[in-house]
């Protein structure tokens, strides 16, 4: 599975090539218009070459040799650039996004977040993380005021996930969690929002539905196991009677528990129903999990 970092790096690589091409084009155009400037630059280059040759021939030579000529040429060049209103950095690569300085990330306090210039890459990463069906769910909708119904556990779950996210940013070890609540209580909404927030901070967060495990290839399952943060939605204990799902889930939970990675199982059943209805090994793992 491709992570947000890999999408950003691909764009940065092509951006780097573009910057180089732009710079070369700018230099050619400027020299074409101002041959005098090209002459000065070539002379400076020549002096530098000579200096290096002399240094190589005789190590005791002063590196400042002929610097007077070079300094005069540099002063002439600076004056020429100023008089002709040429940007002094015309022969250097220009940054494309000033906001992130072409790193793809901006810092917000201690947390790095994906820069707005990487909007498309962020969407691609959401899709790769299993969030393709939730294009319209935006983390900005996750306002505490939007949690109106005191009868469901959304506020509690939100609070817990906020502390999990804070812990993940600090690199603290994490464990697994069961989030059980009735139908239509916003469990999926909250799960998607939190996964998107973490991807937006450069983390490898993944969202899957339990039944998705059935059709996943070994390498896809490996991606799920290794994710920094994992949500398994629509957990139904009866599905764990499928050998394939139970085997995949057991491996995921085991690996993530050993490696202290966060996993949240989201379900409509109560935790006790889930334990009693699940395949034996899955049930044993569920019975040790913290519950919301």
DSSP conformation class of 110: T
We find the least distance from the C-beta atom of residue 34 to Zn ion, in angstroms, to be 32
291 DSSP β-pair partners: 178
Short-list 177, 138, 175, 144, CA closest to 159: 144
CA-to-CA distance for 173 and 157, rounded, in angstroms?
19
We find the least distance from the C-beta atom of residue 97 to Zn ion, in angstroms, to be 3
CA-to-CA distance for 18 and 171, rounded, in angstroms?
36
131 DSSP β-pair partners: none
Short-list 16, 17, 15, 41, CA closest to 28: 41
Within 57-169, strands assigned E span: 105-108, 111-114
Closest to Zn ion by CB, 125 or 192: 125
Closest to Zn ion by CB, 33 or 99: 99
We find the least distance from the C-beta atom of residue 141 to Zn ion, in angstroms, to be 24
CA-to-CA distance for 215 and 5, rounded, in angstroms?
26
We find the least distance from the C-beta atom of residue 208 to Zn ion, in angstroms, to be 30
What are the distances in angstroms from CA 2 to CA 9, 72, 135, 276? 11, 53, 18, 36
3-state secondary structure of 119: helix
Closest to Zn ion by CB, 8 or 236: 8
We find the least distance from the C-beta atom of residue 217 to Zn ion, in angstroms, to be 34
We find the least distance from the C-beta atom of residue 100 to Zn ion, in angstroms, to be 3
Site string for Zn ion, 106-145 (x = CB under 5 A): ---------x-x----------------------------
Closest to Zn ion by CB, 123 or 273: 123
Closest to Zn ion by CB, 100 or 178: 100
CA-to-CA distance for 226 and 256, rounded, in angstroms?
8
Token pair recorded at residue 27: 């230099």
CA-to-CA distance for 71 and 129, rounded, in angstroms?
56
We find the least distance from the C-beta atom of residue 112 to Zn ion, in angstroms, to be 12
Q: Binding residues for Zn ion, how many (CB under 5 A)? A: 5
65 binding Zn ion? (CB under 5 A) = no
Closest to Zn ion by CB, 115 or 137: 115
Site string for Zn ion, 84-103 (x = CB under 5 A): -------------x-xx---
Closest to Zn ion by CB, 115 or 274: 115
Give me the residues that bind Zn ion (CB under 5 A), please: 97, 99-100, 115, 117
């Amino acid at each position: 599975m491709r992570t947000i970092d890999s999408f950003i790096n691909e764009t940065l690589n092509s951006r780097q090539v573009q910057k180089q091409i732009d710079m070369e084009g700018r230099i050619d155009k400027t020299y074409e218009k101002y041959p005098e400037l090209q002459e000065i630059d070539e002379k400076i280059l020549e002096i530098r070459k000579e200096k290096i040759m002399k240094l190589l021939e005789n190590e005791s030579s002063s590196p400042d040799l002929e610097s007077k000529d070079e300094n005069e040429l540099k002063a002439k060049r600076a004056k020429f650039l100023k008089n002709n209103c040429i940007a002094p950095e015309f022969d250097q690569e220009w940054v494309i996004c000033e906001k992130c300085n072409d790193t793809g990330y901006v810092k917000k306090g201690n947390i790095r977040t994906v820069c707005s210039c990487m909007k498309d890459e962020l969407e691609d990463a959401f899709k790769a993380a299993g969030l393709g069906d939730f294009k319209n769910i935006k983390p900005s909708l996750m306002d505490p005021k939007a949690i109106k119904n005191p009868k469901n556990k959304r506020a509690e779950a939100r609070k817990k996930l906020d502390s999990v996210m804070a812990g993940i940013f600090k690199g603290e070890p994490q464990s697994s969690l069961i989030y059980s609540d009735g139908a239509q209580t916003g469990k999926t909404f909250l799960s998607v929002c939190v996964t998107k927030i973490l991807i937006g901070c450069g983390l490898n967060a993944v969202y899957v539905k339990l039944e998705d495990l059935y059709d996943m290839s070994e390498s896809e399952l490996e991606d799920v196991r290794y994710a920094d943060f994992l949500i398994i939605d629509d957990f139904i204990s009866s599905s764990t009677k499928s050998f394939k799902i139970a085997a995949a889930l057991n491996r995921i939970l085991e690996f993530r528990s050993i490696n202290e990675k966060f996993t949240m199982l989201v379900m409509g059943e109560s935790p006790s129903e889930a334990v009693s209805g699940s395949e034996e090994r899955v049930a044993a793992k569920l019975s040790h999990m913290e519950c919301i």
